[in-house]
Structure 1
Amino acid sequence: METLTTNNAAATDIYRPALHYAARDTWLNDPNGLIFHDGVYHLYYQNNPLGNVWGNMSWGHATSTDLLAWTEHPVAIPCDDNEDIFSGSIVYDRTNTSGFGTGSVAPLVAIYTSAYKPGSEHEGIQAQSLAYSLDGGYTWTKHANNPVLDRRSANFRDPKVIRYDGGEGSCWVMVAVEAQDFKVVFYKSEDLKNWEFLSSFGPANATGGIWECPDLFPLPVDGDPENVKWVLTVNLNPGGPNRGSAGQYFIGDFDGTSFTSTSAETAGLHSPDDHGAYHWLDWGRDYYAAVSFNDAPDNRRLMIGWMNNWEYANHIPTTPWRSPMSLAREVSLQTIDGNLCLVQRPAGDWTALVTQEPFSLAETTIDDSEQVLPGAAGTVQRIDVSFAPGSAKEFGLVLRGDGAKGTHVGIRPDEGRLFVDRRQSGQTDFHESFPSVDTAPVRSSSDSYDLSIFVDRCSIEVFAQGGQVTMAELIFPAEDNTDLAVFAAGGTATISSLQVTQLE
């Protein structure tokens, strides 16, 4: 197989991430076809192989063995004069139900959206098509009889296919969207080629923008395999809790035919701006189109999202590449204060990336001030900190700073809010909507606020209270803005513990 590059190669610009995947010199957006196969994690994604803005949609391809270092490969499924290759998923057809396998080789089968171009037989239509691979996912052949599922719709897209095992046997189940109708549609198949409509879900909860990129998976509640719930995720643009693109999730039951949510409310019951009434995958501005890996080892549920926002996606100041992916996150379903919610934690063995002895700070009180921490500076870091609130109106950290400016990440305890203020984070003038103060609800645990923050060259990902709340945000600081500071405003706050680990 041909290899192009890894994202950990020598940086060609100051924003190229060290911890997050980005294409070598092209545009990427939605993750597609996530699958673990033969010991390798495969990440496919929406890719413009001819430029660094959206267009010419094809499937790019990268692989990893540890979810941390990614190797880029040639375009997997390219667009052509007939169709763009929109989002979709990949399954391992172990028993060759599709008939695409040969001899002892079972195929990988990609189910993707054909967005048909002007002049094609299906002009203006989005329908679902197949491609298959017999070499482990590196080369692909389109099915001769595409499309295999056509609703004669211009906005029917983003199929996620899973293997469902129920009381009456197993089958393939597809979840896709009618994007402008705020509906997830469910189909089943025995052979991936012939599909039968099952049901639909929605509109429900957030409907401030079109629905895209759904996913469906079971999770044990609090780790109990005898108590399993199903999670349906769906992304929307715009309509996110802090403007622009975002993802929401529903918790409920799936019986092989329909999904019934215990966390959904009829669209319109709340104001479109009543974001606190819904479950969000991430409260930051830059986490969209998140989907999970099929066949992850040990039944882990691992997700990756696109780290960008359609409000300014084509304008972020990176070159020649544009847009990174998020870190891989392991998600679980836990009972928090009597309510079920997704808890997300970064996946991967981070100890392999540690470059020096961590910086540590013991119990320290800050009194209405901002203090730079000598010895804690860096551009690629993991920061673990616990705060005990005092009289301060807000407190937290200043990341990638220069002694005066930086990205503020902190807590407003009286409001019960986590916030990220990137108005002075570096380059912000490339788009009017980028400078922002973004917030999320957060509760203290035993009068403590605990944050794990992953800082990369153009982003931060915040995991609060053990991953109960997350915020992913792009930032574009100057190369020499490396300071880390602590602050409290309007009173005192105490740092119970702080550890800063340099990563590379």
Structure 2
Amino acid sequence: MTAATTTAETFRPALHFATRNTWLNDPNGLIYHGGVYHLYYQNNPFGSVHGNLSWGHATSTDLLNWTDHPVAIACDENEDIFSGSIVFDRHNTSGFGSGSTAPLVAIYTSAYKPDSAHPGIQAQSLAYSMDGGYTWTKHTGNPVLSRNSREFRDPKVIRYDGAAGSYWVMVAVEAKDFQVVLYKSEDLKSWELLSTFGPANATGGIWECPDLFPLPVDGDPENVKWVLTVNLNPGGPNKGSAGQYFVGDFDGTTFTSASTVTEGLQDPDRLGEYQWLDWGRDYYAGVSFSDAPDDRRLMIAWMNNWQYVNDIPTSPWRSPMSLAREISLQTNEGKLCLVQQPAGDWTALADAEPFCLSETTIHEGVQVLAGAAGTVQRIDVTLRPGSAAEFGLILRGDGVTGTRVGIRPGEAKLFVDRRESGQTDFHESFPSLDTAPLQATAGTYRLTIFVDRCSVEVFAQGGLVTMTELIFPAETSTELSVFAVGGTATVNNLQVTQFA
């Protein structure tokens, strides 16, 4: 092995999906079908940088272990295959089915090349599969929806059944107009404009990869609200790429937000008031699965940031996906908020008896926890503030430096500090101290942290706030420590589960 290959494999995730040796970005076409979760994704089959965009394909039965498959929908001399979605056309409204076999239909953005019939245009096209999503045929009538726009992309299609009727609804974006556009179809081929949404809230960068779905409020099926998510780059709360969401109502024609803070272009001083899918640097293009069992709303995002995406030290594979998350809508201090929890049976992956600690004082400085070292871990911890100005954990450390995940109670903030997390000098934007608003609950802070070989995902206060960050620590940096600055704090309880 070369040194570069060794470095890349050092960082290959154990818990997250990554390709074998190629580029990966936005998740596409997420669907549960035939007992299998299908994850399609933006992929360059020929290299480890952005280009030649096609749809890669992976499958899982448990959302934890993934099998990579050959490219599903390939670019050609006329088009790159940009982001989109997949539906199970169970009533064969498209006519692509055969006999008793209903098709899966992919709705994707054709990014037309200069020598094609639609040079420079982005329009929406179809492909269909008759074998459960493994092989695909492009529709001969593509594109099925064009606005003669260079920035019209990322269609998420859902089946709407409500007071207005039963039909397909597409949400896509006019990226540079900060606008979500909604269309209606009976057959997935002919589309009628319904309405538009935006600009609103965060508009510091182009809008991409929208999603629209209903959720019960606090688990009450009689009280349902709709959630519209839209990702933007740049303009996130900690710079670079991010995803925001709006909560409101959808009547089959128009989405009406009840959570808009600012209409039109954003006020940069109000970023902290907007609702974010994730406050970290590396959670982008998050979209949800169609047809997930038991009406669960499950979401996966791309774990990277366009600021430094081509420079992370993992060549020839580039970028992992986030963990799958189950999304719910809950009331918190009178406000409707998305709550996210890692999906999957994590007990099945445990490699040994967990390390446990309870009612332990964190003194000023850094204290290594003997017996808690590891490279792939789940950490569940409850912390109680004392006199310290900040306190928390140091992950993948060497006894002094590492990735700090902590609390500043006086500022009501959670933070992830990766300025001394390992390799950070590959791009000037990577070393960062990122923060999110976080209030104590009953006087304590509860964190669930998933540590993988190149990432940290933090779920705070039961998933009310999340932060996702890439890290590139040395192989020898395996220590877990607690720290406090300016006083003391308390570990109420801590459990560290090791994964192979």
| TM category, shorter | over 0.9
Kindly indicate whether residue 352 of structure 2 is the aligned counterpart of residue 359 of structure 1: no
Aligned partners of 1:315, 1:12: CA distance in 2, in Å? 12
Aligned residue pairs total 495
CA deviation string 1:419-475 (max 9, x = no partner): 000000000000000000000000000000000000000000000000000000000
Supply the RMSD in Å over aligned alpha carbons: 1.1
Kindly indicate whether residue 261 of structure 2 is the aligned counterpart of residue 265 of structure 1: yes
Aligned partners of 1:207, 1:270: CA distance in 2, in Å? 5
Kindly indicate whether residue 52 of structure 2 is the aligned counterpart of residue 67 of structure 1: no
Match of 1:396 in 2: 392
Amino acid at match of 1:317: P
Match of 2:193 in 1: 197
Q: Following TM superposition, by how much is the alpha carbon of 1:403 offset from its aligned partner in structure 2, in angstroms?
A: 1.1
1:80 aligned residue (56, 76, 82):
76
Contact persistence 2:366–2:399 (CA under 8 A): no
Contact persistence 2:378–2:451 (CA under 8 A): yes
Match of 1:488 in 2: 484
1:369 aligned residue (365, 369, 379):
365
Contact persistence 2:23–2:317 (CA under 8 A): yes
Aligned partners of 2:119, 2:190: CA distance in 1, in Å? 22
2:404 aligned residue (408, 424, 429):
408
Kindly indicate whether residue 140 of structure 2 is the aligned counterpart of residue 132 of structure 1: no
Kindly indicate whether residue 303 of structure 2 is the aligned counterpart of residue 295 of structure 1: no
Q: Following TM superposition, by how much is the alpha carbon of 1:275 offset from its aligned partner in structure 2, in angstroms?
A: 1.2
Match of 2:216 in 1: 220
Kindly indicate whether residue 415 of structure 2 is the aligned counterpart of residue 422 of structure 1: no
1:269–1:290: structure 2 CA closer, same or farther, 3 Å change rule? closer
Amino acid at match of 2:226: W
Aligned partners of 1:451, 1:351: CA distance in 2, in Å? 18
Kindly indicate whether residue 184 of structure 2 is the aligned counterpart of residue 180 of structure 1: no
Match of 1:350 in 2: 346
CA deviation string 1:55-110 (max 9, x = no partner): 00000000000000000000000000000000000000000000000011100000
Aligned partners of 1:271, 1:72: CA distance in 2, in Å? 42
1:351–1:103: structure 2 CA closer, same or farther, 3 Å change rule? same
For residues 313-352 of structure 1, what are the structure 2 equivalents within 5 Å? 313-352=309-348
Aligned partners of 1:70, 1:28: CA distance in 2, in Å? 15
Q: Following TM superposition, by how much is the alpha carbon of 1:366 offset from its aligned partner in structure 2, in angstroms?
A: 1.3
Kindly indicate whether residue 132 of structure 2 is the aligned counterpart of residue 120 of structure 1: no
Q: TM-score, normalised by structure 1?
A: 0.97
Kindly indicate whether residue 32 of structure 2 is the aligned counterpart of residue 36 of structure 1: yes
Aligned partners of 1:345, 1:186: CA distance in 2, in Å? 29
Contact persistence 2:43–2:54 (CA under 8 A): yes
For residues 241-260 of structure 1, what are the structure 2 equivalents within 5 Å? 241-260=237-256
Q: Following TM superposition, by how much is the alpha carbon of 1:11 offset from its aligned partner in structure 2, in angstroms?
A: 10
Q: Following TM superposition, by how much is the alpha carbon of 1:480 offset from its aligned partner in structure 2, in angstroms?
A: 1.1
Aligned partners of 2:262, 2:465: CA distance in 1, in Å? 24
CA deviation string 1:262-309 (max 9, x = no partner): 001334575224211100000000000000000000000000000000
1:46 aligned residue (2, 25, 42):
42
Match of 2:159 in 1: 163
Contact persistence 1:398–1:487 (CA under 8 A): yes
Q: Which secondary structure does the structure 2 equivalent of 1:139 belong to?
A: coil
Single out whichever of 452-461 and 274-283 deviates more from structure 2: 274-283
CA deviation string 1:401-426 (max 9, x = no partner): 01121000000000000000000000
Aligned partners of 1:266, 1:285: CA distance in 2, in Å? 23
CA deviation string 1:353-385 (max 9, x = no partner): 001000000110112121000100000000000
Match of 2:54 in 1: 58
Q: Which secondary structure does the structure 1 equivalent of 2:37 belong to?
A: strand
Aligned partners of 1:169, 1:385: CA distance in 2, in Å? 48
Aligned partners of 1:488, 1:271: CA distance in 2, in Å? 35
Match of 2:3 in 1: none
Amino acid at match of 1:104: S
Aligned partners of 1:63, 1:272: CA distance in 2, in Å? 40
2:145 aligned residue (141, 149, 153):
149
Q: Which secondary structure does the structure 2 equivalent of 1:13 belong to?
A: helix
Aligned partners of 1:305, 1:12: CA distance in 2, in Å? 21
Amino acid at match of 2:398: D
Aligned partners of 1:234, 1:12: CA distance in 2, in Å? 31
1:95–1:28: structure 2 CA closer, same or farther, 3 Å change rule? same
Amino acid at match of 1:304: I
Q: Following TM superposition, by how much is the alpha carbon of 1:319 offset from its aligned partner in structure 2, in angstroms?
A: 2.3
For residues 421-440 of structure 1, what are the structure 2 equivalents within 5 Å? 421-440=417-436
Aligned partners of 1:481, 1:470: CA distance in 2, in Å? 24
Q: Following TM superposition, by how much is the alpha carbon of 1:26 offset from its aligned partner in structure 2, in angstroms?
A: 0.2
1:43–1:78: structure 2 CA closer, same or farther, 3 Å change rule? same
Q: Kindly, what percent of the aligned residue pairs are identical?
A: 77
Aligned partners of 2:269, 2:280: CA distance in 1, in Å? 16
Contact persistence 1:207–1:272 (CA under 8 A): no
1:409–1:301: structure 2 CA closer, same or farther, 3 Å change rule? same
Contact persistence 1:111–1:129 (CA under 8 A): yes
Contact persistence 2:8–2:313 (CA under 8 A): no
Match of 1:102 in 2: 98
Amino acid at match of 1:16: R
Segments of 4+ in structure 1 off by > 4 A? none
Contact persistence 1:241–1:273 (CA under 8 A): no
Contact persistence 2:7–2:314 (CA under 8 A): no
Contact persistence 1:327–1:346 (CA under 8 A): yes
Q: Which secondary structure does the structure 1 equivalent of 2:441 belong to?
A: coil
Q: Following TM superposition, by how much is the alpha carbon of 1:168 offset from its aligned partner in structure 2, in angstroms?
A: 3.8
Q: Following TM superposition, by how much is the alpha carbon of 1:12 offset from its aligned partner in structure 2, in angstroms?
A: 6.9
Q: Which runs of 5+ in 2 are unaligned?
A: 1-5
Contact persistence 1:207–1:267 (CA under 8 A): no
Aligned partners of 1:289, 1:221: CA distance in 2, in Å? 24
Aligned partners of 2:182, 2:39: CA distance in 1, in Å? 24
Aligned partners of 2:295, 2:200: CA distance in 1, in Å? 29
Q: Which secondary structure does the structure 1 equivalent of 2:427 belong to?
A: coil
Aligned partners of 2:392, 2:483: CA distance in 1, in Å? 6
Contact persistence 1:353–1:503 (CA under 8 A): yes
Aligned partners of 1:223, 1:159: CA distance in 2, in Å? 28
Contact persistence 1:206–1:267 (CA under 8 A): no
